[in-house]
Amino acid sequence: MDWRLKIGTNSFSEDTLLVYFKELTKKCKSSTLWSHYSMLKSTLNLKHNMNIESYAKVRALLKRQSEGYQPKKSKAFTGDEIYKFITEAPDTKYLATKVALIMGVMGACRSNELYEMKTKDLQFFEGCINVSVPITKTKVPRNFTVTGDFYNIVKKYSELRPSDVSSSFFLNFQNGKCTKQVIGINKFGRMGKEIAEFLKLPDPVKYTGHCLRRSSATLYADGGANMTALKRHGGWKSASVAEGYIADSKKNKMDAANKILHQINPNSISISNANSCPSTYADGVSNFTIDNFAITNKTSDVNINTTKTPPTIHFNNCHNLTINFINK
């Protein structure tokens, strides 16, 4: 509105907004331009009954400015890094951070969702905790479950909370005790950096408050989650964000490479894993038999007929792999 007064116009026409956004391109990056556009679209529609979504020239300008733009994204933790922090960081100092990490990764939670988490949102059962996330950015409530060793950690923290405090679940934790002070949203935003510094990872400042949610989506995609499951897990309405995680999945890329390799050379079988999960081979099957070689895991057996000369087998980053040599 100030800009309109400055240039002496009362118009909200497409040409007027085109000039306005052309000036903004000189000082704003692509993501900021789209933020301005989104705010203007909502405000002008509400206060002036103007629908600028139909302004094709303006949208075309913004799309041109987006070409080649690479947004900065928070780094994500690997499964090994999460496990190392959970097992090696002392509880006397990092227990609250561990619980936030568990909630963030298991439920793909944002910093504000952790901040808004209440004690009533957690239901404790024998061996598991059901957690509700009623307040979300996309207005889509979510639920997730905490089990295994994570269950014991969250339960330990819950039992240390004073009973005569507010309903907020996350309370400040110092010297092995919970205080009555609620953990603020900015502290949740710094926890990723705190974890990275403990693990001595490079560029800890790049582990922002969004790193827990990104870590969750990345691990789930690497575990083989499809589009529907990933959207439900993160509460995304749009498929574009979920598509990004699936497209960047190391497991999916490795599976594609192995399938291509298998078509070029059927006797060359690559058994790989991108994220410390049980081993798989070209077609994603853990158990198979090759002549006198029996490579087993926990899924159904698959027999592959080959020549009598054993094929070349490549193992990359495989864990918990059992190889049985059978003399037939």
pLDDT along the chain (328 residues), means of 10: 88 90 89 90 91 90 82 85 94 94 94 93 93 87 92 93 84 88 92 95 92 91 86 85 75 80 72 43 39 40 47 60 66
Alpha-carbon distance 224 to 227, whole Å?
10
Query: How confident is the model at residue 190, as a pLDDT?
Result: 93
Helix, strand or coil, per DSSP, at residue 24: helix
Strand partners, 294: 289, 324
Single out the residue of 171, 40, 46, 48 nearest to residue 100, CA to CA: 171
Q: Which two tokens stand for residue 162?
A: 């004073």
Question: 84: part of which helix (H) or strand (E)?
Answer: helix 79-88
Alpha-carbon distance 96 to 261, whole Å?
46
107 touches 215 (CB < 8 A) = no
Single out the residue of 214, 10, 260 nearest to residue 105, CA to CA: 214
Helix, strand or coil, per DSSP, at residue 269: strand
Question: 272: part of which helix (H) or strand (E)?
Answer: strand 268-272
Q: Tell how far CA 263 is from the center of its chain.
A: 32
**288 — alpha (psi -120 to 50), left (phi > 0) or beta?**
beta
Query: How confident is the model at residue 295, as a pLDDT?
Result: 41
Question: 181: part of which helix (H) or strand (E)?
Answer: strand 177-182
Query: How confident is the model at residue 302, as a pLDDT?
Result: 43
Alpha-carbon distance 248 to 162, whole Å?
43
Report how far apart, in Å, the C-alpha atoms of 122 and of each of 116, 119, 179, 307 are. 12, 6, 20, 57
Query: How confident is the model at residue 259, as a pLDDT?
Result: 81
Alpha-carbon distance 177 to 313, whole Å?
52
